[in-house]
Amino acid sequence: RIRFIDSKIRDGRFPNARNLADEYEVSERTIHRDIEYMRDMLDCPIGFDKKRRGYYYTEPAFALPNVSIKASELFALCVAEKALEQYRNPPLYDALSAVFGKILASLPDEITVRYSWLNPDITFIQQSYTVIEREIWDAISTALYTRSALKIIHRKAGADEATERTVEPYHMVSYEGEWYLIAFCTMRKQVLTFAISRIQKCEPLEKSFTLPDSFNLKEYLGENFGITVERETHRVKIEFMPGAAAYIRERVWREDQVLTELPSGGVSLSFTVNSLREVKRWVLCWGPMARVREPLILAEEIKRDIRAMADNYINI
């Protein structure tokens, strides 16, 4: 967008914020912020002609610096574009793809883009994902940028009815095919996590807020194992049979994990978490190759689930 504004000013037609916003399909407010950024951060000598009601460069010879990029960096960029295909939903993919195209178009002439780089022999297999409405995505992303409050109608997983609440967006998180909004809820008077796909309606409010200095994403997530955050912490110890041990050894599951080799050829994995919900789901996916040793409450929940699962197949 900065390159676009620069080219329009350089044409000498004295574009104004409304013209630029209409052509680029953004708000006038966004263009004003871009102009401020160009002046303050890029030292662009931008003036405004009151008679012609438009912007111009007070130094006609001024030029934005060219993009400096190595061939290896360009290849990495092309691989990153391939990775973006995982984000076809939400509407983030379309915007990022457009940005990628603009980056390629703005590269210096001496940089050669090989055709094979644009379609590298690298594939990212897409996970299942939720569907997010463009209007809701745009409203949330704008509110994050402008630090503005939102009125949302959100339905919790398993709830029969949705609730209306006012939230102050702090952060967005992508996890296992779902996007989550971390926001201060004025109804609950605390920071909560909302699945964006469960937001049925989202309305921007003319109410700005300041992100508290006390908010820290890492501290909020704490000893998380996934997206679920709870207050009580648990020390988890899981034994994996020899058939699964190799897979456990080759990954870092938690930064504080402790791996202990077992005489059987299996391995014991220990770590601390603040929620057992997603740990339970993870253990169950290993079937008979995993056994929970600690905490007892987790082992008992898994035992109950296994019995309930067996009942589902009692007539087969």
pLDDT at 81: 66
Question: What percentage of the chain exceeds 70 in pLDDT?
Answer: 82
Q: Residue 273 — φ and ψ, nearest 5°? A: -135, 160
Q: Is domain 2-57 given the CATH code 1.10.10 in the classification?
A: yes
Residue 115 predicted with pLDDT over 50: no
Q: What angle do CA 253, 256, 258 make, to 5 degrees?
A: 80
Residue 149 predicted with pLDDT over 60: yes
CATH topology of domain 234-312: Alpha-Beta Plaits (3.30.70)
Mean pLDDT across the chain = 87
pLDDT at 177: 85
Query: Per DSSP, what are the bridge partners of residue 174?
Result: 179
CATH topology of domain 134-221: SH3 type barrels. (2.30.30)
Q: Are 39 and 72 in contact (CB under 8 A)?
A: no
pLDDT in tens, 30-89: 999 999 988 888 888 999 999 999 999 998 888 776 555 566 666 676 667 666 666 666
Q: What distance in Å separates the CA atoms of residue 45 and residue 64, rounded to the nearest whole number?
A: 11
pLDDT at 40: 86
Residue 238 predicted with pLDDT over 70: yes
Residue 109 predicted with pLDDT over 90: no
Q: What distance in Å separates the CA atoms of residue 208 and residue 149, rounded to the nearest whole number?
A: 6
Q: Are 183 and 192 in contact (CB under 8 A)?
A: yes
